[in-house]
Chains A and B, each alone.
Chain A
Amino acid sequence: MPGCSRRPGLRPESSRQVPPASRFSSSKSSSMASAPTSKYNSRSLENESIKRTSRDGVNRDLSEAVPRLPGEIRITDKEVIYICPFNGPIKGRVYITNYRLYLRSLETDSALILDVPLGVISRIEKMGGATSRGENSYGLDITCKDMRNLRFALKQEGHSRRDMFEILTRHAFPLSHSLPIFAFVNEEKFNVDGWMVYNPVEEYRRQGLPNHHWRITFINKCYELCDTYPPLLVVPFRATDEDLKRVATFRSRNRIPVLSWIHPENKTVIVRCSQPLVGMSGKRNKDDEKYLDVIRETNRQISKLTIYDARPNVNAVANKATGGGYESDDAYHNTELFFLDIHNIHVMRESLKKVKDIVYPNVEESHWLSSLESTHWLEHIKLILTGAIQVADKVSSGRSSVLVHCSDGWDRTAQLTSLAMLMLDSFYRSIEGFEILVQKEWISFGHKFASRIGHGDKNHADADRSPIFLQFIDCVWQMSKQFPTAFEFNERFLMTILDHLYSCRFGTFLYNCESARERQKVTERTVSLWSLINSNKDTFKNPFYTKEINRVLYPVASMRHLELWVNYYIRWNPRIKQQQPNPVEQRYMELLALRDEYIKRLEELQLANSAKLSDPSTSPSSPSQMLPHVQTHF
C-alpha cells in the first residue's frame, strides 16, 4: 500500500465479490482473474510490500522478521505512531536497517506496511518538542525524494525520538557520516549480470560504427581529454586526436562534440557536446569551427549543420558573461542554430516542488487544472519533447546532421539526445535497448546523478539537485502512453528505475561520471539495477508490444495529450488509484493464455489423430470431456 492501507470494516460489502467474469470457461476465468493482480500492478515499491505481505500473510505475528536483503543489517526498532495523511494515526513498530525503514501496523484492523529505502529520504526534521501539546506533536517529519512525506509521533520519554533521528540521519546520509552507501554492502546475487548489458563497442557496432567517416578513439581511455566523458568516443574519421585536444580547449569542461547516433540509411548523425567558450569578447576557435564542418561533411550533405542549443536564447547570451556562449553565424558559416527554450535545473526543481504541493498529501480539488498549469511541469515536458522531435525529424528526414548542446551538455543535452534516439531507433524501445540508452547517454556521458539526486548526502537544499532524469522518464512515459504498443517495457519498469534512482541499493546511478565510478570500482563492488530487472523481465513487459523495425515515433507534444503521470506522482494517495491491472490489459492476458492453451490442445489433437490412424481400435475421448470450454461463445 502506498503510505498506508485502508482500514477494513467501513461497510459490509454489497455486491462486488464476483471477480470480473470471462467468457471463457469459469475455471479458467477465476484463475486468470486473480493471478495477474499483483504481477501487473505498476506501483512498484509499494507493490513489493504488498507481495511481501501476501506471501507471508499466513503468519503475521509481530515477531515475524523484517524483510532483509543479503548484507542488510538491522539497527533498531521503535514503537511509533505513523501519522498517515489519508487515514489518520496508526500505531506501529518501525524497524530501521542500514537499507530501509520498515513499519508494520500494530493495530488489528490495519494491515499497513511501510517499506521505504533510506536512500529515498531527502530530509529529516523534528516536529514539536517537550513543550508542545497533543499526543502526536512530538515526532519526526521525513521528506522523501519520491513525492511523499512520512510523519511519526514518538513517546516523549526515553529519548526515543532523539535515537530515531540520529540513527536515521546516519544511515540515510551515509556520505555525511563516513559510512558506505548501501550498494557497497549489498550482497544480493542475481542470475543475470546487469553490468554486462552495455558494451560501448558492441553498441557502436550495432549502429554500423566505425565506418568510413567515423572512428572510435581511445584518447580518453584514462579520462585525460575529458574527465566527465566515457573512455571510448566516436569522432569524425578526419579529425585527429590532436584536433580533438585543441577542440577540447574551446568546449566547456572539454566536452567535445562526439557521436551519439547515426542514421542507418541517410548517415546523418546526432552529435552531443557542451557550449563553446565564446565569452564576452566573442572568442573564436578555428579548430572548433573546422571540426564542426568536418562533422557536417561526414554524410556528404551540402546542407548546413543544424545546432540545437537546448537553452532559451537569453540564457545562452547570459552565459557569455561566465565564459560560455553559443555558435554565432559569423564564426560558424555552415551551421544553423536554433534555441529550444528548455529551462535550467533550478526551474525544473521548483516546478517539481510545485507539483508535490498540489498532489501531496491532498490532491487540489477545485482548481486542479489551473493548479497543474501553474506548476509548469507539463509545459517543461512539452518543450523537451518538442526539442527532441525536432532533432529526430531533422535526422530522420535526412535534411542534416544535428549537434545538440546546452551549457555543460549533461542535463538537457542528455534529455534531448536520448529522447530523439528513442523516437528514431526502435531498438531502444526494448527493455535491454532502453537500459543501453540510459547507460550510454546518461550514465557514461556524465549526467551528474550524484549531484542531481544527492545520494547519501544530507544537504537537502543543495542547488545542484534537480529532477532532470525523472523528467526524462516522464517524457518516456508520455510517449509510451501515446504509443501503447511501441515499447517492450511497461509502466512498472519506468517506476522501478525511478525507485532505484533513489534507493541506493544498486550501483547503477551512483556518482557523477565514469571516471569516479572507475575509481570506486562500482562495477566490481555493487550490483547493477539491470540485474534485478533482467532476471525478472516478465514483470516489466508490456503485453501489447509489437516490434516494428525502422518506425519513427513522433509523439504529439500538445497539452491536449500530455497528462500528469498520476500513477507515479500521486501513487501514495489511496483515493487516486488507477484500476490495476487495467481491464484491457487483463483481458488481453487472458486471451494470450487461452491462445497458448488452444495451440497446445491442437498439437495434442494432431498427435492423437496420427496415433488413431496407426491404431484404429483406440476410441477418441468424448469431445465434451476434452473441451469443456471451447463451447463458450464470444
Chain B
Amino acid sequence: MLGKGVVGGGGGTRAPKPSFVSYVRPEEIHTNEKEVTEKEVTLHLLPGEQLLCEASTVLKCVQEDSCQRGIYGKLVCTDFKIAFLGDDESALESDETQFKNKIIGENDIPLHCVDQIYGVFDEKKKTLFGQLKKYPEKLIIHCKDLRVFHFCLRYTKEEEVKRIVSGIIHHTLAPKLLKRLFLFSYATAVHSNTPTNPQNHTVMFDTLEDWCWELERTKGSMKYKAVSVNEGYRVCERLPAHFVVPAPLPEESVSRFQGHGIPIWCWSYHNGCALLKMSALPREQDDGILQTHKNFLDGIYRVIHRPPYEIVKTEDLSSNFLSLPDIQTAYSKFKQLFLIDNSTEFWDTDIKWFSLLESSSWLDIIRRCLKKAIEVIECLDAQNTNVLLVEENASDLCCLVSSLVQVMMHPPAFEFTETYLTVLSDSLYIPIFTTFFFNSPHQKEMNLGREAQDAHSTPLHLLTVWDWSVQFEPRAQTLLQNPLYVEKPKLDKGQRKGTHLKHQRQLSLPLTQSKSSPKRGFFREETDHLIKNLLGKRISKLINYSDELQDSFREFYDSWHSKPADYHGLLLPHIEGPEVRVWAQRYLRWIPEAQILGGGAVAMTSRLVGMMEEVRSLQEKINERHHHQRALPAEAPSLLRSSARLSSLFPFALLQRRPSKPVLPTSGWKALGDEEDLARREDEFVDLGEV
C-alpha cells in the first residue's frame, strides 16, 4: 500500500490528485456472505417513539485501516432518531462498548443531532434540502456530535430510497413546532409507569427556596434578597419566576421596564463581592424617554454603587466583547474541520492544520471568553468590587461569562471529567430531556407545566440531563468522575470562624481597595458612563483602553500563575497561544486516523485508577486485620482498568483498527516558500565526484 509517490509524491511518480470524495465503488467493498443475509436487528423504540419510514439493503460504509468496509442493514427514521439496524456489533466485544448510551445507540442519530445531510450524485457531494428531483446513490450525514455516517443506497429499492431520503430530510430539516417535539410524546407515554427518580437532588432554581438556599450558601443573603415579583410571569416572560436582586431595590422597579435595567444577582464571592447581570433598556431616540430612562437608572445605580461601601463596575458585553454571530461563524468553520469524510480529507487538511484552525478563530474566541472571565475575577477578587454584566437580554454572554467566573472562583472545581463535558454536550441534542429545549422557564412552563395539561391527567414525566442514570449504567457513570478529584478538607472550627468574620467586617467597614486607584481599569465606574452605555450611546469603542488596564490584568494573572495552584481556591486557566488547544476528546473522537492506540492521557489515568484500587484494597486488608472484619466485596474494577490497552479516544473510540498497523499520512510536504534556496543546498560542501 505504501507505493511510490504516496508520501509526498516522491519516487518520480506523482500521486493522483484526490477527487473531492474518494468513494469506494460498492463492488469494491468487502462484505461477508453472512452479512449480506441482513441479520435481524430489532429496532429499539423509546416510549412514545414511532417508526416513520424505513429502507432495506442499505450499506453502511465504515472506514477501517484506510479501506472501507460495508455492512448491510436497514435504515429507519422515527420521530426521534435515524437508526441503522445492521450486524455491526460483531467487533464490539471490548469493554469500550460498556460506555454505552442507553438512549442513543452507536448507529442512532437523534433528529436534533443532524447537522447536515449530503447526497452523492455521480461521485459528487451535494447538500440536500427541500424537495428532491433526483435521489442520491449515497447519503452522508454529519452530526452535531461530530459523527459522520455514510449510507450507500445503491442496492436499495428505488421506492424505499425515495421514502427514506425524503423522510429523513423532512423530519430533520423542516422547521418544527415546539409542540411536536419528541419530548411531549415521550413524557406522555412514560408518565404512567415510571416514578420520578427521588435520588436526583439537582437544584433546579425554579423555586424561591432554591434561590434562598443559594444566597445562604454563598453568604449573599445579607445584601441580596430573593423575590417572587415575577410569579406567573406577570412582569415578563423572559425572566424566571423567582430571582435575586439587591436587598434595597424596591420590588416595583422590577416591573417598570419589564425587568430591563434591573441588576439581577448571579453569585457572591466569599469576600462579599457579587456578580450581577442586567438586561439593557431598549434603545430610544426620544429625548423625553431617554431622560426617564436616565433617571430610572440613576436610582438603580445609587442602590448598587455606594462608595466606599459598595463599588460596582459595569461590563457591557454587547459592545466590548464577542458578538453572537462571531461565535456562530467561528463554530461553523471550526466544526467542519472535524466532520471528515475520509482518510484523504484528513491528511489533506493535516498539512495546513494550524492555519485552518486559526482561520476558524474558534480558539481565539475561547481565549477571549476565558480572558473576559479572568478580568471580571480580577475585579471581584483583587479590587473588591461588585461586577455588573450588561447585555441586551442578559441571556447569552452574561450566562457564559458568569458561569465561567463561578467555575474558576468557586471551589471545589472539577469533580467531573472531560468525558462528562463531552456527554453533556451530546445531551444538548437528545429531546427526552427538558433541560436544553426551551428558551425560558416561561416557555417551558407554558408547554409542560400544569396549565398546559388537562386537569385530570397525571403530571408529565420530565427528565433532566442531570439524571445520568437515564443515559448510563452506574459503571459507565464512573467515567464521568475525575479520579484525581479530592474533596476539600473540612476546616476546623477556628478557621471557619475566621472566614465568617471576614464577611462581617466587610459589611460594616468601608471597602479598602487593594489597587491604588479606584479609577483603574476599563470598567467605567462613573454613573454617567454606565448610563450612557445602558442608553445605547455606546462610546466604549472610542475610548482607548488604558495601558493600566492591561497592566492590572497582567499583574493579577501573572501573580496567580507564579504560585502553586490550590485546587480548592481560585483556578485561572492559561490563556497564552500555545496553551489554548483543541478539545481533543470531543472533536477527534470519531476520527480513526487520530486514534493513538494504547496511548494518550487515558493510559496515564488508567495507571492512576489502578493504583487507587490497589491502595484501597490494601487499606481494606489493614482494616480487616484490625477489626477482624470481613473484607467488603471488592468493587467492580473501573472501566478504565478492565482493558489492557485503550485507545486515546476512550471511551468513544468505537472504530476498530488493528493495533499492529500504523496510520500513515498520505499527503506530504507543502512548499517551503522562501526556503527553497536552502532546500536545494547540499548538506556538506564536498564534491563527492572527486572522492
Measuring CB to CB, which residues of chain A are less than 8 angstroms from any residue of chain B?
6, 10-23, 26, 37, 252-253, 277, 279, 312-315, 318-319, 322-324, 336-341, 343-347, 350-351, 363-370, 372-373, 376, 378-379, 382-383, 386, 389-390, 392-393, 396-397, 406-408, 411, 463-464, 482-486, 544, 546, 551-561, 563-564, 566, 570, 574-577, 579, 583-584, 587-588, 591-592, 594-595, 598-599, 601-602, 605, 609, 623, 626-627, 630, 634
Contacts and interface: CB of A to CB of B under 8 A. Distances in A.
Interface stretch (B21-29, B219-227, B553-561): B553-561
A16 B615 contact: no
B608 interface: yes
Contacts of A11: 382, 514, 555-556, 559
A498 to B, nearest CB: 19
A588 B358 contact: no
B282 interface: no
A322 B688 contact: yes
B596 A369 contact: no
B613 to A, nearest CB: 10
Nearest to B619: A630
Contacts of A277: 688-689, 691
Contacts of B581: 563
B40 interface: no
B634 to A, nearest CB: 14
B10 A341 contact: yes
Interface of B: 2, 4, 7-12, 270, 346-347, 350-355, 357-358, 363-364, 381-382, 484, 486-489, 514, 555-556, 558-570, 574, 576-579, 581-582, 584, 588, 593-601, 603-605, 607-608, 611-612, 614-616, 618-619, 621-623, 625-627, 648, 660-665, 668-670, 672, 675, 678-691
B194 to A, nearest CB: 33
Nearest to A253: B691
Contacts of A552: 660
A601 B683 CA distance: 62
A14 B269 CA distance: 12
Contact of A602 (B486, B608, B614, B621): B621
A397 B598 contact: no
A323 B615 contact: no
Contact of B565 (A339, A558, A579): A579
Contacts of B669: 312, 341, 379, 383
Given A37-B564, A341-B8, A389-B662, A485 B604 contact: yes
A369 B363 contact: yes
Contact of B352 (A373, A484, A486): A373
Nearest to A86: B558
A555 B11 CA distance: 25
Contacts of A407: 682-684
Nearest to A574: B562
A365 B588 CA distance: 25
A603 B652 CA distance: 42
A6 B689 CA distance: 58
Given A11-B555, A315-B680, A369 B8 contact: no
Nearest to A566: B578
Given A19-B564, A561-B594, A396 B648 contact: no
Given A6-B558, A341-B668, A390-B664, A575 B576 contact: yes
Contacts of A14: 381-382, 569-570
Given A396-B660, A595-B618, A12 B568 contact: no
Nearest to B381: A14
Contacts, number: 311
Contacts of B12: 313
Contact of A350 (B270, B347, B568, B678): B678
B627 A623 contact: yes
Contacts of A37: 564
The secondary structure that dominates the A interface is loop
Given A390-B7, A407-B684, A408-B684, 20 more contacts: A11-B382, A18-B569, A21-B489, A312-B669, A322-B689, A339-B8, A346-B683, A347-B672, A363-B577, A392-B662, A393-B661, A544-B603, A556-B593, A560-B588, A561-B596, A574-B562, A577-B562, A591-B615, A602-B622, A634-B616
A117 to B, nearest CB: 26
A397 B596 contact: no
A575 B607 CA distance: 31
A630 B353 contact: no
Contacts of B594: 556, 558, 560-561
Given A11-B555, A338-B7, A588-B608, A595 B615 contact: yes
Contacts of B558: 6, 10, 574-575
Contacts of A563: 581
Contacts of B670: 379
A373 B354 contact: yes
Contacts of A323: 687-691
Given A252-B688, A347-B679, A623 B626 contact: yes
Contact of B596 (A312, A379, A482, A577): A482
Given A26-B489, A627-B622, A386 B664 contact: yes
A598 B488 contact: no
Nearest to A1: B562
B497 to A, nearest CB: 16
A564 B625 contact: no
Nearest to B337: A560
Most interface-central of A12, A277, A344 (chain B CB within 10 A):
A344
26 contacts: A11-B514, A12-B514, A16-B566, A17-B566, A18-B568, A21-B488, A252-B691, A339-B11, A344-B682, A366-B364, A368-B577, A373-B358, A386-B7, A386-B665, A393-B661, A464-B684, A483-B599, A485-B604, A551-B598, A560-B582, A564-B578, A584-B601, A587-B484, A588-B608, A588-B611, A605-B626
B355 A601 contact: no
A96 B8 CA distance: 50
Q: When A and B form their complex, which 9 residue pairs have the shortest distance between CB atoms, in order from nearest?
A: A368-B577, A323-B689, A323-B688, A339-B10, A554-B662, A559-B353, A598-B618, A369-B358, A373-B354
A378 B350 CA distance: 11
Nearest to B555: A10
B415 to A, nearest CB: 13
Given A315-B679, A577-B561, A587 B621 contact: no
B76 to A, nearest CB: 34
A591 B611 contact: yes
Contacts of A553: 598-599
Most interface-central of B577, B582, B614 (chain A CB within 10 A):
B577
A314 B659 CA distance: 34
Contacts of B626: 605, 623, 626-627
A336 B604 CA distance: 40
Nearest to B499: A15
A298 to B, nearest CB: 22
A22 B486 contact: yes
A340 B566 contact: no
Contacts of B616: 634
Contacts of A392: 662
Given A21-B486, A363-B577, A599 B618 contact: yes
A543 to B, nearest CB: 9
B63 to A, nearest CB: 15
B683 A23 contact: no
B566 A546 contact: no
B105 to A, nearest CB: 27
Given A382-B665, A390-B2, A485-B604, A598 B682 contact: no
A325 to B, nearest CB: 9
A411 B683 contact: yes
Nearest to B491: A18
Nearest to B552: A11
A588 B607 contact: yes
A324 B688 contact: yes
A350 B674 CA distance: 11
Nearest to B682: A322
B687 A544 contact: no
Contacts of A579: 565
Nearest to A552: B660
